[in-house]
Chains A and B, each alone.
Chain A
């Protein structure tokens, strides 16, 4: 499934931020996440992992934790 789940890695745990994400746009210190059904959410952080084959996920890390 190409649509991805976005997680936030806060060091000791990973929190699911949004499922079925179809588009990610960078803006300032974070990213706009948009899923197939029109939900939009801005999340601050830096991209850590983009997995396009196994699991289809994107992991973000809050820059304060890097």
Chain B
């Protein structure tokens, strides 16, 4: 695939039901966009799962941005100290190195993870994601992809306010279709269009069935990722996804994302 002519900066969120494969879609899409010569910043906003860095082939995760505000545990005693998050605009280059890890044109930042029992709610992480996305200033040929927390609460928190495109990951299940409908409704309420990517699709018959169901809900499908054993192996072994069927299927999704006005 050739290089993209020139790409306007764009913030894309990837959301859907828990376990639908949001992180897989993020990793596949990031690789496909990177292969077009566009730099990708992935924002890991999922406060539960911590394995995204492995899917990107990184050896360790970046220090969570929550630590820039002292982390939840230290928040009470460290608040008041200045940090990059206080700036009006944050460029990718301005993010201090422990907080951003990268490889081959794909960089990763992490908002924060729930690590201990009874440590409290994840609301500060929601605020941090929302404010970081608002302040994040991308240049030409830079795209940010947000790996959202599962479900729909991020809409309630206003995290998607600064998002240009919403990608909705749908696996073959009734519950996933139900969440898809809810996401579309909430995205529409924020004047954003949610478009679907099918994931873990075992056959063309299932793909057509999902497309029909989503079409009935007025949700456009921009791509389909097959049930590729290479993805299964990568998830099982905690490593980057090998090039195969799923990897190639991300090309079409990449076209749809990059061509969206």
Among B69, B83, B123, B131, contact of A1 (Cβ-Cβ < 8 Å)? B123
In angstroms, Cα B124 to Cα A34, docked, is 13
Which of A3-57 touch B at CB < 8 Å?
Answer: 3, 20, 22-23, 34, 36-40
Q: Are A22 and B79 touching (Cβ within 8 A)?
A: yes
A20 x B83 contact (CB < 8 A): no
Contact B79 A40 (CB under 8 A): yes
A residues near B (Cβ < 8 Å) are 1-3, 20, 22-23, 34, 36-40
Interface centre among A22, A23, A38 (most CB of B within 10 A): A38
Contacts of B80 in A (CB 8 A): 34, 38, 40
Residues on the A chain within 8 Å of B131, using CB = 20, 36-37
Do residues A2 and B75 form an inter-chain contact, with CB atoms below 8 A? no
List 19 A-B pairs, Cβ < 8 Å: A1-B126, A1-B127, A1-B158, A2-B124, A20-B127, A20-B131, A23-B79, A34-B79, A36-B75, A36-B79, A36-B128, A37-B85, A37-B131, A38-B69, A38-B80, A38-B81, A38-B83, A38-B86, A39-B86
- Summed over the interface, the residue pairs from A and B with CB atoms below 8 Å come to a total of 44
A40 and B69 alpha carbons, distance in the complex (Å): 13
Distance, CA A3 to CA B158, complexed state (A): 13
Known: A1-B123, A1-B126, A2-B121. A22 touches B86 (CB 8 A): no
**Secondary structure at chain B's binding surface: helix, strand, loop or mixed?**
helix
**Distance A23 CA – B128 CA, assembled complex (angstroms):** 15
State the CA gap A22–B127 with chains docked (Å).
10
Give Cα A1 to B76, complex, Å.
18
> Bound state CA distance, A37 and B128, in angstroms?
8
Cα A2 to Cα B85 in complex, Å, equals 20
Which residues of A are found within 8 Å of B140, using beta-carbon distances? none
- In the complex, B189 has a CB within 8 A of chain A: no
Q: Which residues of A contact B124 (CB under 8 A)?
A: 2-3, 22, 36
B82 within 8 A of A: yes
Q: Are B75 and A22 in contact (CB under 8 A)?
A: yes
CA distance A38 to B82 in the complex (A): 6
**A3, A34, A40: which contacts B123 (Cβ < 8 A)?**
A3
Q: Does B212 contact A (CB under 8 A)?
A: no
What 7 A-B pairs have minimum CB-CB distances, sorted nearest first?
A2-B123, A34-B79, A20-B127, A38-B80, A1-B123, A40-B80, A3-B127
Is residue B208 within 8 Å, beta carbon to beta carbon, of the partner chain? no
Say if the beta carbon of B157 comes within 8 Å of chain A: yes
Once bound together, how far apart are the Cα atoms of A37 and B127, in whole Å? 10
A2 to B75, CA, bound (A): 15
**Neighbouring A residues of B157 by C-beta, 8 Å:** 1
Q: Say how far A55's CB is from chain B's closest CB, in angstroms.
A: 12
